[in-house]
C-alpha cells in the first residue's frame, strides 16, 4: 500500500468517528426534546382536566340536566309502560336539581345518574300503586281487591 492511501484511509476513519460522535450528540438532543415535549403535553392535559372540573359550576350542571330531558323522555317511553312519562321525567329533573350535591362525577356520568334517579322514581311509583292495591299495566287499571 502506498503511504498516501494509508493516510487517506486513516483520515477517513477519523472523519467517520467524528460523524458518529456528532450523530450521537444529535440523537441525545432529540431524546431530550422529546422528553420535554412529553412532559409539557402531560402537564397541559392535567391543567385541562383541572380547568374542566372547575368550569362545571352548579348552573352548568343544571343546564346539562335540562339538556338531558329528551333522552330521559325517550328512555322513559321505551322502558316504563303504564305511567305518565312526562310526569316521571319532570319529577326526575326536579329531584336532580334539588339533589345535585349528591352527584359525584368520579362515580359515573350525569346521564347514568339521571337514569338511576328515574328508575328509582319509577319503582317508588310502582310501590305506591301496590300499597294502594292498584297496579297500572299498559295504561289499564287492574283492581286486585
In order, the DSSP letters of 16-77 are HHHHHHHHHHHHHHHHHHHHHHHHHHHHHHHHHHHHHHHH--HHHHHHHHHHTHHHHHHHHH
Flag whether pLDDT at 43 surpasses 50: yes
**What is d(CA 99, CA 135) in angstroms, rounded to the nearest whole number?**
29
**What is d(CA 69, CA 72) in angstroms, rounded to the nearest whole number?**
5
pLDDT > 70: percent of the chain = 82
Of 50-64, 107-121, 123-137, minimum mean pLDDT range: 50-64
Per-residue pLDDT of 56-95, as tens digits, reads: 677 777 888 888 888 888 888 887 766 678 888 888 888 8
- How high is the mean pLDDT of the chain? 78
Which CATH architecture does the domain made up of 58-143 adopt? Orthogonal Bundle (1.10)
* Three-class DSSP category at 91: helix
**What is d(CA 9, CA 108) in angstroms, rounded to the nearest whole number?**
70
Q: What is the pTM of this model?
A: 0.50
Q: Domain residue spans in the chain? A: 1-55, 58-143
pLDDT at site 20: 87
Amino acid at each position: 500500500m502506498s503511504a498516501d492511501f494509508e493516510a487517506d484511509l486513516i483520515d477517513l476513519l477519523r472523519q467517520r468517528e467524528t460523524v458518529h460522535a456528532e450523530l450521537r450528540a444529535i440523537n441525545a438532543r432529540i431524546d431530550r426534546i422529546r422528553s420535554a415535549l412529553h412532559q409539557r403535553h402531560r402537564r397541559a392535559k392535567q391543567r385541562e382536566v383541572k380547568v374542566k372540573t372547575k368550569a362545571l359550576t352548579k348552573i352548568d350542571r343544571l343546564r346539562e340536566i335540562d339538556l338531558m330531558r329528551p333522552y330521559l323522555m325517550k328512555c322513559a317511553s321505551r322502558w316504563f309502560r303504564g305511567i305518565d312519562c312526562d310526569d316521571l321525567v319532570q319529577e326526575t329533573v326536579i329531584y336532580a336539581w334539588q339533589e345535585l350535591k349528591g352527584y359525584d362525577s368520579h362515580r359515573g356520568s350525569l346521564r347514568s345518574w339521571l337514569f338511576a334517579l328515574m328508575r328509582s322514581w319509577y319503582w317508588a311509583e310502582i310501590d305506591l300503586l301496590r300499597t294502594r292495591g292498584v297496579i297500572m299495566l299498559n295504561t289499564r287499571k287492574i283492581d286486585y281487591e
